[in-house]
Amino acid sequence: MTKIKGLVTGIGSLPHKDAGSALDLVFEYCPQIPFWPQLPKRDVREGMIAQFSENLPCLQVSGQGLFLNPEDKEKKLEVFYEHIIANDAGYFAVSADFALGLHAFYQRLKKTNLKDIEFIKLHLTGPFSFAAGIKDEKGVALLHDPVFMQAILKGLGMKALWQINLFREFGKKMILFLDEPYLGCFGSAYTPINREDVVSALSDLAKDIKSDDVLLGVHCCGNTDWSIFTDVPAVDIINFDAFSYLDKLLLYADNLSAFFKRQGILCWGIAPTTEFSGKETPDSLVKTLISGIDILSQKGLDKKLLLENLLISPACGLGTLDVSKSYAIFKLLSETSLLLKKAY
């Protein structure tokens, strides 16, 4: 595997309204794992759920956001599944109206010397966060509607394939993150879903995505049962908020041991986002990271493997912050990466 120790990438959203400026940040601070930026401040269609809603049955976007229109439901589902059966990934394309950063990223890559790029990072809102964010006419989340939940799984899988097919022309390995902030509340009364359903759904979705040139990651910026991700064999990367929840992840050392034995990678969200003060230093972030690695190694994990299979990122997306803070966070991460590589 490519040596990835300490490489920097992003989660997805940035606070910019201009795609070119957002990409300037990405290529300056994440030159080895650049990612396409979501720009939620640019347009309501760039919200993390609306962005992937095009041509999913009965979903419409207005100036107020995304909503369900159940009119002609059966007909819309029939048309939808015709494209699923035909494996028509192009039908599920994400247009520039919904993801200007994606299309600008593609054009930037065409004009960029790719020799230093190790991976191209893509992303997709995960099925549970997607379905939990949309309610039916009775006010019930689609998460609890088996017909729509199945359609969402299939539709999101096709949107992942469309991205992979689009960026495959650059001949680079790709990383695709499923963003699942909703699962940060897993196990509480507010997330009435069971563990088996989560593992099963993510496993099914992964079957549509995995290939030799694609690593599958899962991002969750809250506290969760981390074994739901280690138990999905196709998950290669787990991205977690190491700034706020490192102590919680450390409780899953046994699960992580099995994860690393199959070449798993941890992406440490070591730089705070909403809590960012500007007082953080590369030394303090490396100290936190190494303290976590030391605890895991004391619990039987191989320290060398932990250091080698390690990426760093912000704790979460930066779409709600201001632009100057996003630059400061990525500058901090870049300096942390250099220190980490030098010291270890």
Q: What is the pLDDT of residues 58-100, one digit of tens each?
A: 999 987 788 899 899 999 999 999 999 999 999 999 999 999 9
Amino acid, single-letter form, for residue 288 = T
The three-state secondary structure class of 344 is: coil
Q: How far is CA 17 from CA 36, 292, 332, in A?
A: 14, 36, 22
> For residue 252, what are its two tokens?
């899953």
**What is the predicted pLDDT for the residue at 108?**
98
The three-state secondary structure class of 290 is: helix
For 303-321, the pLDDT digits (tens) are: 999 999 999 999 999 999 9
Q: Does a structural domain hold residue 140? A: yes
Q: Does a structural domain hold residue 123? A: yes
DSSP 8-state assignment for residue 36: P
CATH number of 122's domain: 3.20.20.210
Q: Does a structural domain hold residue 289? A: yes
pLDDT, mean of residues 284-312: 95
Q: Does a structural domain hold residue 117? A: yes
pLDDT band at 189 (very low <50, low <70, confident <90, very high): low
For 272-283, the pLDDT digits (tens) are: 999 999 999 999
Q: Does a structural domain hold residue 240? A: yes
Average pLDDT for the chain: 94
**Domain coverage including residue 321:** 7-343
**What is the predicted pLDDT for the residue at 62?**
85
CB 32 within 8 A of CB 116: yes
CB 216 within 8 A of CB 266: no
- CB burial of 318-327 (b: ≥16 within 10 Å; e: otherwise) equals bbebebebbb
pLDDT band at 191 (very low <50, low <70, confident <90, very high): low
Q: What percent of the chain has pLDDT over 90?
A: 88
Q: Does a structural domain hold residue 2? A: no
Q: What percent of the chain has pLDDT over 70?
A: 98
**How far is the C-alpha of 224 from the C-alpha of 15, rounded, in Å?**
26
pLDDT, mean of residues 150-174: 97
Q: Is the pLDDT of residue 185 over 80?
A: no
pLDDT, mean of residues 123-144: 93
β 214-220/173-179 pair status = parallel
**What is the predicted pLDDT for the residue at 334?**
98
Predicted structure pTM score: 0.95
Residues belonging to the chain: 344
CB 215 within 8 A of CB 265: yes
Q: Does a structural domain hold residue 1? A: no
The number of folded domains in the chain is: 1
**What is the predicted pLDDT for the residue at 187?**
60
pLDDT, mean of residues 315-330: 97
